[in-house]
Amino acid sequence: MSKTQITAEPGIPQIIIARGFGAPRDLVYRAHVDPELLVQWLGPRDLTMTIDHYDARNGGIWRYRHQDAEGNQYGFHGVFHGDPSPNAIVQTFEFEGAPGHVCLQTVTFAEHGDATLMRTVMAFQSVEDRDAMVASDMERGTRDSGDRLDELLAKLAVG
C-alpha cells in the first residue's frame, strides 16, 4: 500500500525502515513471529530462505539462511530480548559473514484505521558497521546506473 522508506543518515549508526500495510496490526505482527509465515516473504524472490530456528520468546534464538541461485549461502542469527508483542519485537541480528558485528533491531507496529505502520529501527555498533552491512547485504546488487541521485540526496537530507 506504500513504498518502503529507508532512512540512513550520514554519521548516525542507524537505519530506519518504515512501511504501511493494508492489514490488521496483529496479522502484520504474526507475519514476523510465525516462522511459517516469515519464510514466505523475507527476502527477494530469487533467494531461497531456510529457517533453522525461530523461537520467538524472551531469550529464544533464531537462525535463518538465504541461498542464491549459485548456491551461495548467507546465514544470520540472533536472540529475542523480551517476549515479542505487537508493541515491539526486540532482537539482536548478526550476519555470519561478519561475526562480532551485532545489530539491535526493534520492530514496532502502529494501527492507523485499517492499516498498520511497521517501523524497524536497526542500531549498529558503529557507522562503519552500518555502511558495511548495507554494502554487503546479499551482494547481489542491482546495478541501477539510472540517476538515483536526486532520490538519494533527498534521503540524506538531514532534518
Q: Which three cell numbers stand for residue 5?
A: 522508506
Does residue 69 touch another protein according to CB under 8 A? no
Does residue 111 touch another protein according to CB under 8 A? no
**From candidates 55, 72, 73, 87, binder to another protein by CB under 8 A:** 55
- Give dist(CA 42, CA 55) in Å, integer: 17
Q: How many residues bind another protein (CB under 8 A)?
A: 65
- Give dist(CA 56, CA 80) in Å, integer: 6
Does residue 82 touch another protein according to CB under 8 A? no
Closer of 11 and 71 to another protein (Cβ): 11
Neighbouring C-beta atoms of residue 122, cutoff 10 Å: 19
Question: Mask 113-132, x = binds another protein (CB under 8 A)?
Answer: --------------xx--xx
Among 117, 119, 78, 83, which Cα is nearest to 101's? Answer: 78
Question: Which residue's C-alpha cell is 531469550?
Answer: 59
Among 39, 46, 89, which Cα is nearest to 64's? Answer: 39
- CB of 71 vs another protein, minimal distance in Å: 19
Does residue 78 touch another protein according to CB under 8 A? no
**Segment near another protein (CB under 8 A); pick from 38-46, 67-75, 96-104, 105-113:** 38-46
- CB of 79 vs another protein, minimal distance in Å: 13
Does residue 100 touch another protein according to CB under 8 A? no
**From candidates 13, 14, 30, 106, binder to another protein by CB under 8 A:** 30
Q: Which three cell numbers stand for residue 103?
A: 545489530
**Residue 132 identity (one-letter amino acid):** A
The full length of the chain comes to: 159
